């Protein structure tokens, strides 16, 4: 339960910014860290060492974590392939499927993605296009959702794979993955789901989603950075993946490399904790998110809520502020940690590709903030953020009118 969760540092005289960027990354839960530590300096064996106790202990820890991840997703543990994170999982899914099809001489090389996908899907898709694959990029609606009719009309006899995210990392919008899978499977097309932002925050039953491949990452659900996983469905029509690189044949020959046992242990612990407190945490974060939106919208005009008003992640709030220079707004907010979009593209001066795909103007896209609430966010921090953002936006607007 969440009663014993450690509290975050409060804003104020101590000068510690309030952390509201939990879509970029989450703090490692101290309970997760405690389970990881022995595997750095006591149980430090290589899980591939099969001839002694150190290796056996490491391998057992890895399989325990695989089971915990499988339980959270409601899948068999042997369908979980460990990777270095969501980016690698997405690359393995897209490149693995398309390159395998081409290598085997199977007809068709058509890939479908949406314009609001994470860069770790869009960029591999564009690389595959440069290498000869056919690519269709679907538009999304004004709320950031994929239109099911547009998806079905985009499918062709040579379509091999559709890739769609469960929950958008910028605006929090949740896609109807189950319906998308039904459409894809009716056309004998595989569906990959980037569920990095959704797993651990909303219920994710892969059997109900019916996705063939699912990506996830530990550091988005209070686990460590540097480890993720790709669910690869077993049973039914075989899923053939071409590995991204060669090596010792680890992870069913799909992902060679020495397994990072401490990180995997933390991944498993984070999934176990998520399953234990999922409903209570979602309800609490939804309440805090609504408190934040109400406080901002009642004290400022010219606000636009980006994303779906209901079908969105509990801890996500993405807001555009009219009449404010976006760069000046971000520069002024030194006492809270928020972002203007995906952390993976924060160095890109261009407006959010997600907001632009939704039809948001360039000026509003640049003047948008993504608030990511998390397990350690408190009501006092939300109240501070409301006052602080209102004061800064009002000041910036006043200075422009002088």
DSSP 102: H
> Count of residues for the chain?
402
Residue 139 CA from chain centroid, whole number? 20
- Cα-Cα-Cα-Cα dihedral sign, residues 173, 176, 177, 178: positive
Residue 9 CA from chain centroid, whole number? 25
Q: In the numeric block, which tokens belong to residue 78? A: 């042997």
Residue 184 annotated as catalytic: no
Q: In the numeric block, which tokens belong to residue 355? A: 């907001």
Decide: 165 and 175 in contact? Cβ < 8 Å. yes
List the end-to-end C-alpha distance of the chain, in Å, as a whole number: 52
**CB burial class (10 A; 0-12, 13-18, 19+) of residue 339?**
buried
Please name which of 8, 3, 7, 29 lies closest in space to residue 267, comparing C-alpha atoms.
29
Residues 6+ apart with CB under 8 A from 295: 382, 383, 386, 390
How far is residue 280's CA from residue 297's CA, in Å, rounded to a whole number?
26
Q: Which of 184, 193, 271, 344 is catalytic?
A: 344
Instruction: Tell me the Ramachandran region of residue 172: left when phi exceeds 0, alpha when psi lies from -120 to 50, beta otherwise.
Output: left
Decide: 163 and 112 in contact? Cβ < 8 Å. yes
Residues 6+ apart with CB under 8 A from 271: 65, 68, 69, 71, 72, 199, 200, 221, 223
How far is residue 43's CA from residue 235's CA, in Å, rounded to a whole number?
35
Instruction: Tell me the Ramachandran region of residue 344: left when phi exceeds 0, alpha when psi lies from -120 to 50, beta otherwise.
Output: alpha
Q: So which residues are the catalytic ones? A: 344
């Amino acid at each position: 339960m969440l009663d014993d969760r450690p509290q975050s540092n409060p804003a104020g005289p101590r000068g510690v910014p309030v952390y509201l960027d939990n879509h970029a990354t989450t703090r490692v839960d101290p309970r997760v860290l405690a389970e990881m530590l022995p595997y750095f300096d006591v149980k430090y064996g290589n899980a591939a060492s099969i001839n002694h106790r150190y290796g056996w202990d490491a391998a057992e820890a890895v399989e325990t974590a695989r089971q915990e991840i499988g339980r959270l997703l409601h899948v068999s543990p042997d369908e979980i392939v460990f990777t270095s994170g969501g980016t690698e999982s997405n690359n393995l899914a897209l490149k693995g499927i398309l390159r395998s099809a081409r290598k085997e001489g199977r007809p068709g090389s058509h890939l479908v993605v949406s314009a609001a996908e994470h860069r770790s899907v869009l960029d591999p898709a564009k690389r595959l296009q440069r290498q000869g694959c056919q690519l269709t990029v679907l538009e999304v609606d004004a709320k950031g959702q994929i239109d099911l009719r547009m998806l079905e009309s985009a499918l062709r006899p040579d379509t091999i794979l559709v890739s769609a995210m469960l929950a958008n990392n910028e605006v929090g919008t949740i896609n109807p993955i189950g319906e998308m899978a039904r459409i894809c499977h009716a056309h004998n097309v595989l569906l990959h789901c980037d569920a990095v932002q959704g797993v651990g925050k909303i219920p994710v039953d892969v059997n109900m989603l019916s996705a063939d491949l699912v990506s996830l990452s530990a550091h988005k659900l209070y686990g460590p950075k540097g480890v993720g996983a790709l669910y690869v469905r077993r049973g039914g029509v075989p899923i053939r993946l071409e590995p991204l690189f060669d090596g010792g044949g680890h992870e069913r020959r799909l992902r060679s490399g020495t397994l990072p046992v401490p990180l995997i242990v933390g991944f498993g612990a984070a999934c176990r904790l998520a399953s234990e407190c999922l409903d209570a945490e979602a309800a609490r974060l939804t309440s805090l998110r609504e408190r934040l939106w109400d406080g901002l919208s009642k004290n400022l005009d010219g606000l636009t809520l980006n994303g779906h008003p209901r079908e969105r992640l509990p801890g996500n709030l993405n807001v555009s502020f009219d009449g404010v220079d976006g760069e000046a707004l971000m520069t002024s907010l030194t006492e809270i940690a928020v972002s203007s979009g995906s952390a993976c593209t924060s160095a890109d001066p261009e407006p959010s590709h997600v907001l632009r795909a939704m039809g948001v103007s360039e000026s509003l896209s640049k003047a948008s903030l993504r608030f990511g609430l998390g397990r350690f966010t408190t009501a006092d921090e939300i109240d501070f953020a409301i006052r602080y953002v209102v004061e800064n936006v009002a000041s910036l607007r006043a200075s422009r009118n002088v």
